[in-house]
């Protein structure tokens, strides 16, 4: 396994991040344990979840699975740089529409953090991430809570997800004024077919020393060898996506065949070539999917290959950061 720093921190994390969103809804608890054991065997120490995963309001199904896994001992928890997220509506017992059960108020975050700790049977969370920006909470309030969480030993680092570039700047300038470390990473939608973050988010991450953690690195399966999959193996709606993008998909999958590599591996390798990227999130449902992802660490894309990929999946505008991507 290859490792890198988590943004500008001293913590080392694997170049692939184990996404756990499927644990519970798609992958049984027993099979989830098998996947997690294998991830540790492979040296994947960076794991990502969220309090809302499992999609049963207020239950934190996936976090509970992780907690029962860690409780088995064997230094399982200690081996993992554990990341979870706060923002979604966790409810309040049978009062489904009660206020202050979501977003980024101190009222909700205090309750949400303690809930995540309890469900995952751990004393601390390595990386606590804002699942989305919340414009109604001032950064003074958010950082005041985070300072409490860090000073109490419940949280080590703080990150963001689905932020715009100016949100990152706003957050970290506010943190700097409080002598607080601020955001150390940003989790964004980023893949060959979704490159908007190259305009503002990636430049902001580079400037402030944030590691970028791409979610949906395969575009929900779009980049995973869609044309070769049997119809019954495709996700709902993929048939329409194929017809709308057949020429692009044929060029993409043809490129991968020419290089003797699987499309999913090339898609991950393309992300890993970007020095701002810390680790794409892989969400394996099976051991085979987990094992297959490792090949991406060995694939090297030269300048000619990168140029060809830009032709197949053009960047926004002229490419690169704003404003040069669309102006002089």
- 142 part of a folded domain: yes
Q: Is residue 317 a part of any domain in this protein? A: no
Residue 105 confidence (pLDDT): 97
Q: Is residue 60 part of a domain?
A: yes
Distance CA 256, CA 162 (A): 30
For residues 276 and 274, give the distance between their C-alpha atoms in angstroms, rounded to a whole number.
5
DSSP state of 98: -
Nearest to 80 by CA among 61, 62, 66: 66
Residue 326 included in any domain: no
- Which residues are known to be catalytic? 53
Q: How far apart are CA 317 and CA 319, in angstroms?
A: 5
Judge whether 327 lies within some domain: no
For residue 219, the model assigns a pLDDT of 95
Give the pLDDT score at 233.
60
Judging by beta carbons within 10 Å of its beta carbon (0-12, 13-18, 19+), is residue 135 exposed, middle or buried? exposed
Q: What is the DSSP string of 279-324?
A: --EE--SSHHHHHHHGGGGG----HHHHHHHHHHSPPSTTSSSTTT
Q: What is the pLDDT of residue 186?
A: 98
- Per-residue pLDDT of the chain (328 residues), as tens digits, is 999 999 999 999 999 999 999 999 999 999 999 999 999 999 999 999 999 999 999 899 999 999 999 999 999 999 999 999 999 999 987 766 889 889 999 999 999 999 999 999 999 999 999 999 999 999 999 999 999 999 999 999 999 999 999 999 999 999 999 999 999 999 999 999 999 999 999 999 999 999 999 999 999 999 999 998 776 566 777 888 899 999 999 999 999 999 999 999 999 999 999 999 999 999 888 888 898 899 999 999 999 999 999 999 999 999 999 999 999 9
* 325 within a domain of the structure (yes/no): no
**Strand partners of residue 198:** none
Asked whether residue 319 is assigned to any structural domain, the reply reads: no
Residues 6+ apart with CB under 8 A from 115: 51, 60, 90
Find the CATH number of the domain harbouring 306. Answer: 3.20.20.100
Residue range(s) defining the domain that contains residue 186: 3-312
13 within a domain of the structure (yes/no): yes
- Asked if residue 285 lies in contact with residue 26, where contact means CB atoms within 8 angstroms, the answer is yes
What are φ and ψ of residue 189, in 5° steps? -70, 120
- Count of domains in the chain? 1
């Amino acid at each position: 396994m290859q490792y890198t720093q988590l943004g500008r921190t001293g913590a080392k994390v694997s170049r692939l991040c184990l996404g756990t969103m499927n644990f519970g809804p798609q992958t049984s608890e027993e099979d989830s344990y098998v996947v997690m054991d294998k991830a540790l065997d492979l040296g994947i120490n960076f794991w990502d979840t969220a309090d809302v995963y499992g999609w049963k309001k207020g239950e934190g199904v996936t976090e509970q699975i992780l907690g029962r896994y860690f409780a088995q001992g064997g230094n399982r928890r200690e081996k993992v740089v554990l990341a979870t997220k706060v923002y979604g509506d966790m409810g309040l017992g049978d009062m489904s529409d009660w206020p202050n059960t979501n977003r980024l108020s101190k009222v909700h975050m205090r309750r949400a953090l303690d809930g995540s700790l309890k469900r995952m049977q751990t004393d601390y969370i390595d990386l606590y991430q804002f699942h989305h920006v919340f414009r109604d909470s001032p950064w003074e309030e958010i950082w005041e809570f985070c300072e409490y969480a860090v000073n109490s030993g419940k949280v080590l680092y703080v990150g963001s997800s689905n932020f715009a570039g100016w949100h990152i700047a706003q957050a970290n300038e506010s943190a700097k004024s409080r002598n607080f470390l601020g955001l150390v990473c940003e989790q964004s939608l980023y893949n060959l077919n979704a490159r908007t973050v190259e305009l503002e988010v990636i430049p902001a991450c580079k400037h402030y020393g944030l590691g970028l953690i791409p979610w949906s690195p395969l575009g929900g399966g779009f980049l995973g060898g869609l044309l070769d999959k049997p119809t019954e193996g495709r996700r709902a709606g993929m048939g329409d996506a194929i017809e709308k993008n057949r020429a692009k998909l044929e060029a993409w999958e043809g490129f991968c065949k020419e290089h003797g590599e699987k499309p999913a591996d090339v898609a991950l390798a393309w992300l890993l070539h970007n020095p701002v990227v810390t680790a794409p999130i892989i969400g394996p449902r099976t051991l085979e999917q987990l094992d297959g992802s490792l090949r991406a660490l060995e694939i090297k894309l030269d300048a000619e290959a990168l140029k060809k990929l830009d032709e197949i999946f053009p960047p926004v505008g002229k490419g690169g950061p704003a404003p040069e991507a669309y102006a002089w």
